[in-house]
Amino acid sequence: MTSHDDESADDLAPVTPLFGVRGARSGRTGADASSHPSRGPAPVVGDDEPVEPSGDGARRDPVRDAAAALAAVTEHWSDVPAAAAASADEAEAEEPPEDLNAQRTRAENVSLHALSRRGVSSAEMASLLEARDLDPEVVADEVSRLEGVGLLNDRELAENLLETKQGRKGLGRGAVTSELRARGIDASVIEEVLAETDDADEQARADEWAVKRASSLRGLDRATAERRLNGYLMRRGYRSDTIRRAVEKALPRGGSSRGGVRFE
């Protein structure tokens, strides 16, 4: 080329690649050049897998990026329940326990409410207070206080129950003993109270209830009537010797077995 031609070439404007420097160098088409960050969406590699360039020009794998993001989110939320439980435990640990004076006040309210309904033994009161999650010291102090002022008295309660069960309901010593034990009264107190009862009075009650029951056994043969009357008195807590004498009085001998038992 001549010098004239060189000067003409120098006067020409520089050629700017239409699709960026990278497109010009690689000879790619305009669609390929659009992979530049400033030129629109990323090109498609393979079938349907988009690959976006990173900030430093290197290509990024969207599948790998999505998996990494999902793992980060999963790790974050997996720590939430443990953190919440730890916070709850800390709050519970920081909560101060109920003051003993407040527990004593609550124990008095519970005990007075129970005593207003019926007689209560010392053991029953202790069980009732323990069920309210009160401190053992508070329970013991409240029971002692009630015993000291006479609101809890196991012997008096046993005597009242004895009178009610024997006099009003016609129960024998065995049934009364079982009732007193179920109420938590000490065995020594039960023995002392029952020792005061009279054997003659026990037999008189058994005779009375046997005669009342025998009136409903008319028309039965003697063996059946005796068996039913024996079972009835046993369920009422009478002793075997007391039952035998009561049955003999309520079902006198005589009459025809075919026609049934003859009663006085």
Interval 182-229: pLDDT, tens:
999 999 999 999 998 889 999 999 999 999 999 899 889 999 999 999
CATH code at position 128:
1.10.10
How far, in whole angstroms, is CA 171 from its chain's centroid?
38
Residue 235, domain extent: 198-250
Q: Long-range contacts: 183-191, Cβ < 8 Å, 24+?
A: 183/121, 183/123, 183/124, 183/157, 184/121, 184/122, 184/123, 184/124, 184/127, 185/121, 185/123, 185/154, 185/157, 185/158, 186/154, 189/154, 189/155, 189/158, 190/158
In a domain, 7, yes or no: no
- Examine the pLDDT at 21 and tell me if it is beyond 60: no
C-alpha 66/C-alpha 90 separation (Å) is 36
Indicate the helix (H) or strand (E) that contains 45: strand 44-45
3-state secondary structure 205-242: HHHHHHHHHHCCCCCCCHHHHHHHHHHHHHHCCCCHHH
Which residue did the predictor score with more confidence, 231 or 67?
Answer: 231
C-alpha 144/C-alpha 171 separation (Å) is 32
| Other Cβ atoms within 10 Å of 107 Cβ, number | 23
| Other Cβ atoms within 10 Å of 181 Cβ, number | 12
Number of domains in the chain: 2
Indicate the helix (H) or strand (E) that contains 53: strand 52-53
In a domain, 162, yes or no: no
pTM: predicted TM-score of the whole model, two decimal places: 0.57
In a domain, 41, yes or no: no
* pLDDT for the residue 177: 95
What are the tokens at 106?
């609550």
In a domain, 208, yes or no: yes
In a domain, 50, yes or no: no
- Examine the pLDDT at 19 and tell me if it is beyond 50: no
In a domain, 106, yes or no: yes
Instruction: Give 256's pLDDT tier (boundaries 50, 70, 90).
Output: very low
Residue 122 · residue 147 · CB < 8 Å: yes
C-alpha 59/C-alpha 45 separation (Å) is 11
Q: Which residues of 121-148 are buried (b: 16+ CB within 10 A; e: fewer)?
A: bbebbbebbeeeebbeebbebbbeebee
In a domain, 216, yes or no: yes
Q: pLDDT tens across 52-104, in order? A: 555 555 566 777 777 777 776 566 555 555 555 555 556 555 555 678 899 99
Question: What percent of the chain clears pLDDT 90, i.e. is strictly above it?
Answer: 51
Residue 152 · residue 111 · CB < 8 Å: no
User: Residue 125 to residues 135, 221, 260: CA-CA distances in angstroms?
Assistant: 14, 51, 53
In a domain, 206, yes or no: yes
